[in-house]
Amino acid sequence: MLRKNRLFTPGPTPLLPAAQMAMAAANIHHRTADFRALYTRVLADLKTFVGTQNDVVLMASSGSGAMEAAVANLTSPGDKVLILTAGKFGERWVELAKAYGLTAEVLSAPYGQTFSLDAVRSRLTPDTRAAFMQATESSTGVRHDVEGVARLLRDAGGDTMLVVDAITGLGTTRFDVDRWNIDVIIGGSQKAVMIPPGLAYCAVSPRAWTRMESARSPRYYFDLRKERKAGAKGESAFTPAIALVAALAAALDYIREQGAGDLAAGREALIANAELCAEMTRAGARALGLKLYASVPSSALTAIAAPEGLDSSVIVKSFRDNFGAVVAAGQGEMKSALFRIAHLGYYDYLDTIGIIAALEQVMTRIRPVEFGAAVAAAQEIYAERSVDKVASARP
């Protein structure tokens, strides 16, 4: 059969056609009124998308650039910081802390797990200058308890900045950024906002802006204060990724349409969509006797453990060779232990049913499968969750 190339990876994710068109048409200069209008609109829409009153800064980099920016702008060499890690992206915080000469208190949970709040509490001291975590650890598919950690920090009443890598969390997970006091929350373009890699964004709290004035770690390109100042005038400090900014504007418009003209409602619809895709996928995997890799699964992606004695790359390759579906293997030491199917961004019912049906075909090459078992389980979930729409569509 024909094979259409389709991305099911937790970044890059499938591109929104309207965003692709906007990119192709973006033949504008960045020091013009046209661009300033576009940039101002995108920054305002990003605030709504993140769900915050805090200023949002946009950067031309992959998501890790904003992670580095958070470290560089909020810390001074030797600062004590708390890092919560349970996967490859958590380990990135550890490496960043090392690169910036911080004293890192590292609380790690095994891959596939999350940390207990009691453990977090026991590692938190009054001199902890910042805490770094992921909202959803994309290497294992786990959702961490951002709200719980935020509450701990608030109860402690200190001056510990909370920095959340929500690169696969935004658009798949609910955050009350301002009420929870998330000081920096980070997103990336190649995830739920359905555009190519190359943009990172973060929302920064008032007390984090204040911290930056005294923080002494070196920073130049990623000086958030410079970007904030330029952003207030509808510009970026350096040449922006103009085409990606145009794409992001189109994507945010699309998300707004999902909310019938209300961007916050559109964000909620996007999250609900990811939740339903994830729930269908989990049900399908379980119906085939597969085990989930994550103890607390996120809606951003589903990580599925390779069946006993099988390297997950066989499954990944089979998806690609037979169906053109690009699913992700594990990262690093987890490479052959799991495979990952993403739900963040531009996925719909047919994508989800399709990948679940393909999973049956892939698995039947490995062990006996009852065709339809995974699809039926996913259908049940879909029918339960969309009961109103289905019922109201009946004549």
Site residues (CB under 6 A) for ligand PLP? Answer: 10-11, 62-64, 89, 134, 138, 165, 167-168, 188, 197
What are the tokens at 365?
């090459």
Q: Residue holding tokens 């204040």?
A: 210
CB 328 within 8 A of CB 138: no
> Residue 188 or residue 354: which is nearer to ligand PLP going by CB?
188
CB of 233 to ligand PLP, least distance (A): 27
Residues near 179 by beta carbon (within 8 Å), at least 6 away in sequence: none
Whichever of 73 and 318 has its CB closer to ligand PLP, that residue is: 73
Q: How far is it, in rounded angstroms, from Cα 323 to Cα 344?
A: 20
Q: Least CB distance from residue 92 to ligand PLP, whole Å?
A: 7
Least Å distance, CB 9 to ligand PLP, is: 10
Q: Residue 129 in contact with residue 81, Cβ under 8 Å? A: yes
DSSP three-state, residue 359: helix
Considering beta carbons, is residue 90 or 354 the nearer one to ligand PLP? 90
**Of 163 and 167, CB closest to ligand PLP:** 167
Nearer of residues 328 and 375 to ligand PLP, judged by Cβ: 328
Residue nearest to ligand PLP (CB): 63
Question: Rounded to whole angstroms, how far apart are CA atoms 328 and 270?
Answer: 22
Sign for the CA dihedral angle at 73, 75, 78, 84 comes to negative
Instruction: Give the residue with the Cβ less far from ligand PLP, 72 or 377.
Output: 72
Cα–Cα distances (Å) from 316 to 9, 53, 292, 319, 339, in that order, read: 11, 41, 16, 5, 7
- Min dist CB 63 to ligand PLP, Å, is 3
Q: Taking the C-alpha atoms of 165, 24, 252 and 69 in order, what is their torsion angle to the nearest 10 degrees?
A: 20
Q: Are 23 and 247 in contact (CB under 8 A)?
A: yes
CB of 195 to ligand PLP, least distance (A): 12
Please, what is the minimum distance in Å from the beta carbon of residue 169 to ligand PLP? 7
Nearby residues of 89 by Cβ (< 8 Å), 6 or more positions away = 134, 137, 138, 139, 165, 167
- Least distance (Å) between residue 140 CB and ligand PLP: 10
- Give the nearer residue to ligand PLP in terms of CB position, either 134 or 281: 134
